[in-house]
Each structure stands twice: as structure tokens, then as C-alpha cells.
Amino acid sequence: SKSEDRQKCPHFEEEEEPGPPQIKEEEEEPGLPQIKEEKEEPGPPQIKEDEEEPGLPQIKEEKEEPGLPQIKEEKEEPGLPQIKEEKEEPGPSQIKVEEEEPGPSQIQEEEELESGLQQFTEDQEKPQPPQETCGAIVCKKIMCRKVRRVSGKKKPMRTQTGEKPHSCDTFRKSFSQLSNLLVHKRIHTGEKPHPCETCEKSFSRRSHLLVHKRTHTGEKPHPCETCEKSFSRRSHLLVHKRTHTGEKPHPCDTCGKSFSKMTNLSVHKRIHTGEKPHPCETCEKSFSRRSHLLAHMRTHTGEKPHTCDTCGKSFSKLSNLLVHKRIHTGEKPHTCDTCGRSFSKLSNLLVHKRIHTGEKPHTCGTCGKSFSQQGSLSVHIRTHTGWKPHPCETCGKSFSTRGSFLSVHMRTHTGEKPHPCETCGKSFSQRSTLLTHMRTHTDWKPHPCETCEKSFRRRSHLLAHMRTHTGEKPQTCETCGKSFSTRGKTVPTVLCFFFSL
């Protein structure tokens, strides 16, 4: 009812309500036409008695209390208290009283009042969709514009209900807010309305621009509580924390290997699929990672942007520089579990372990010989092709490799012997020769003969010994044609030439 609406809505005002025409006439005119008609027309004896009496006892008591505003209005407009109630609440009670007083003008006013009330009721009963305003719904009553809550409770948020009414026409993705949909559409349109003032790079979101600016300012507002390392993004901090906790929440569906980053998992999956989406434009070689492509491009350009602070040597990869620095620091973080030997490179450790396992995965296609390292196979193939691309600048002799053969050969000209024995102090030009010499102090003979079980310190001695069982004599004297099993025995036969003269 109307009285209940007046209680619920503190902003209820009769001046603003678009109500029946009778109510408007009562507000505009200072006096009611009904009162004038009642004074002019003779009415029931009850009304006459009220007019003849100077005032009821109740009115006298109200006159004695001048503090209430209702008494002032009664003083300005003398009338019955029933008429005042009709002014405040025009309702069925007034209609009943007026029905007791029939009159031609009164009947017309009653019909207008009934039609106005009926129109007002129909307007209230019409279903109106609730208008959302900050989680609230606008009051359905016409006379009240005050925003109120529904049943005193807040409207549930879409994050709680899971409602996503805003859909993308291109990707069929849905969003709970229209603003998120508009930002998402920039992926399809390529719009980037947020440019960086420093480097002129543009972004589709303002939040991405703010994060990008930290690359220029160096700001890192997200510190790690464990190692005090700081990051420019909170997401990078969360990923970094997994290095302390060991958490790897992204497993591979094929091999079961887990990763701390989703990007690392995506790159790892290319091992199983063989996907290499980053091709080289120069040699058409493809790579699974863009970082590998960039490092490969430096082989064509010759660029080496990573320089050692100690010796000034430059490298195309930062990882190679970090490994190179271990030469100066002596750091060898990769230790063999079998013999305890340490290495500065993980790749060297993996190759070393093949000594214990006997694995030789690299086979020569010409002679079928196998090697534990790809580099050793490449050098071996040159024995079949005869290619010796590394000549000596002093004597002009050529070698198949620069590191193992040419560098050692140069020491014959310089007399350098950088590998001393810690037991006897004897020095050697090659480290392999030093290791062979060390066996003389330990009596270690790692090369046994499979026929007679005799052991030797050097593999060359074992091969010479095997010829005693096979009878092979590959060394022939050019003077007399006599053959020998080892080359050392051919030297005395040179005297045959002099004695024959």
C-alpha cells in the first residue's frame, strides 16, 4: 500500500508523485473544493454540528500545544481532522465517507478519483526490469527514485555466479565485463592505443605499458623473501619461487617430465613432435627455440657480443662465456659419480661417463669404427678423405685438427712442455703422454691382452703385442725387404744399406 511505501522510502514526497488528478488539484489550490461545497450545500447534521461548534475538545487540547506543525496547519486551514487525513492519504476511507454524502459534484469527483487510482495501480503492477546501479536495483515505485538494496542483500557478483554475458564474435570467447571484451578484441584488430614515450613501443593494455616502463626505470617492486632477488612482475616472482620450493606443476603428457614454466613445457613438447617453427633465412636451417635461432644467426654475421673481462675473448653465446670464465676461476661443478673426476662443462661430463659405460654412439660409415664423441668421428673421417685443413706456419706440415694435433706439433718448435709430473717432476708436451707416464709410478696397466691376459700401460704396446699372436709384420725395410711387427725394429735394418756397400 501507499502507507507502507512511505515507511520504506524516506524520500517519499507527494509533490513528485505523478498521481491522480484530484491529488494535484488539492496541492495547487489552497483550499479543497469539497470543503467549499460542504459549506455551501447543506450536509448531514453531523457536519453542521461540527461547524456550529467552536471546536471539539480534541482540537482544544491540540491548540494548547503550539509545538506541533499539524496544529499550525489546522489553525491556518480550519477544517475537520477527517479532511486532513484525506489530504495526506487519499484512499478508500475517504471514498466511504463521501459515499455517505451523495451530491452531483461529489459523484463526479469520486469517479475521477477512482479512475486516477485505477491508473496508478495499473502502473505499479506493470513488470519493469530492474536497473543495475553499482550492485543495487532502483526502487520499482514511481514516486521514489532512491536506490535501495533488494531484501537488504547485495547482488551476487558475476565472478561468483560464473556468468559471462559478453561474447567475442571472432574467437567465441566470453567475458563477464564488457570492458574486458573490448580489450580482447584488440587482439583481432591489432589495435595498440597505449604507446611508450621512451621507445615508442605500443601495447593493447595500459597495465602492460606500466610494466614495460619498468624496463626503462629499472624498478623491481616484487622482492623474493628467500634470496632477496627482485622482479618487475609478480608473475616472474611466483615462477622464481619454484626454484626454492622445487615445484614443477606443468608435466609432459608424453614422457612425464615436469617443468616450472608453461613456456618451457611448450618448447619441450617440440622434441616429441619434431616441430621447428623458427627457420634461418640464410641457410634454411630450423630451430625449436627462437633463442637458438638468434645464436645461430651469429655464425653467419660473425657477431660475438659476449666478451670475457679477464682475457678479452669474445663469444656468440652468453652460456659459452660463463663456461669459459671457469677456466680462470678453476670452477668444476660437474662431478662424475663413478671416479669422482670433475668438469667445467656438463657436456664433457656426459662424454666422460661413456668411458665407464663403454657407449660409443658415433659410428664411421666407411670403416664402421665407433666413437664416444661426434668430434672424434669428424676427425677420424679425415683419415679416409686425407683432408688436413690446419697447416703449421713454421714447417708447413698439415694436420686434420687444430687443437689436438697442430697445437701439440707447435710445441716441437717452441720446446714447450706444460704438463709436469707431480711425482718425478718430468714434463711432457701432451697431457695424454703425462697420463701414460703416471702409470709407471702406479703400476697400473689398463690394457689387457685377450689371448694371454698380459697387460700393458699403453694401448700402442698392446697392439704391438697382439701381432706376436697373429704373426702380422706391417713394417717393411725398404733396403732388404725384411718385415717387422713394430716400427722400432726397422731402424737397425737401415745399416744393411751401409754394410752392403
CATH of the domain at 495: 3.30.160.60
Q: Which domain holds residue 459?
A: 447-499
Residue pair 446/455 in contact by the 8 Å Cβ criterion: yes
User: How much is the average pLDDT of 211-233?
Assistant: 89
pLDDT value, residue 122: 65
Residue 35 has pLDDT above 70, yes or no: no
- The answer on pLDDT for 367 being more than 90 is yes
pLDDT band at 430 (very low <50, low <70, confident <90, very high): confident
pLDDT at 478: 83
Is residue 307 situated within a structural domain?
Answer: no
Per-residue pLDDT, averaged over 469-488, amounts to: 83
- What's the pLDDT at 9? 52
Residue 38 CB-density burial (10 A; 0-12 exposed, 13-18 middle, 19+ buried): buried
Residue 51 — pLDDT band, cuts 50, 70, 90?
A: very low
Residue 335 lies in a domain: no
Q: Which residue has the higher pLDDT, 158 or 469?
A: 469
58 vs 158 pLDDT, higher one: 158
The answer to the question of residue 478 being in a domain is yes
383 within domain boundaries = no
Specify the pLDDT at position 396: 87
Task: Tell me: pLDDT of 418 over 70.
Answer: yes
Using CA atoms, how far residue 348 sits from 209, 332, 357, in Å, is: 44, 11, 15
Whole-number pLDDT of residue 135: 39
Is residue 464 included in any domain, yes or no? yes
Whether 42 has a pLDDT exceeding 70, the answer reads no
Q: Is 452 a member of any domain?
A: yes
- CB-based burial label for 272 (10 Å; 0-12, 13-18, 19+): exposed
Strands (E), 401-482: 419-420, 427-428, 447-448, 455-456, 475-476
Which of 239-253, 330-344, 447-461 shows the lowest per-residue confidence on average (mean pLDDT)?
Answer: 447-461
**Mean pLDDT for the stretch of residues 284-311:** 90
- The answer to the question of residue 84 being in a domain is no
Q: Under a CB-based contact definition with an 8 Å cutoff, are residues 278 and 269 in contact? A: no
The predicted structure's pLDDT at residue 439: 83
pLDDT of residue 79: 43
The per-residue pLDDT of the chain, averaged, comes to: 74
Model confidence, pTM: 0.37
State the pLDDT confidence band at 126, using cuts at 50, 70 and 90.
Answer: low
Residue 475 lies in a domain: yes
Q: Which residue has the higher pLDDT, 226 or 57?
A: 226
Question: What share of the chain has pLDDT > 90, as a percent?
Answer: 17
Q: If you write DSSP's letter for every residue of 100-154 in order, what string do you get?
A: TS--HHHHHHHHHHHHHHHHHHHHHHS--PPPEETTEEE-S-TT---EE-BTTBP
List, for residues 260-295, the tens digit of each pLDDT value: 888 889 999 999 999 999 999 899 899 998 888 988
| pLDDT tier at 121, thresholds 50, 70, 90 | low
Total structural domains within the chain: 1
Grade residue 83 by pLDDT with cuts at 50, 70 and 90: very low
Cα–Cα distance, 214 to 204 (Å, whole number): 17
**Confidence band of 156 (pLDDT split at 50, 70, 90):** low
Of the pLDDT bands very low, low, confident and very high (cuts 50, 70, 90), residue 120 is: low
Mean pLDDT of 417-423: 90
The pLDDT value given to residue 132: 43
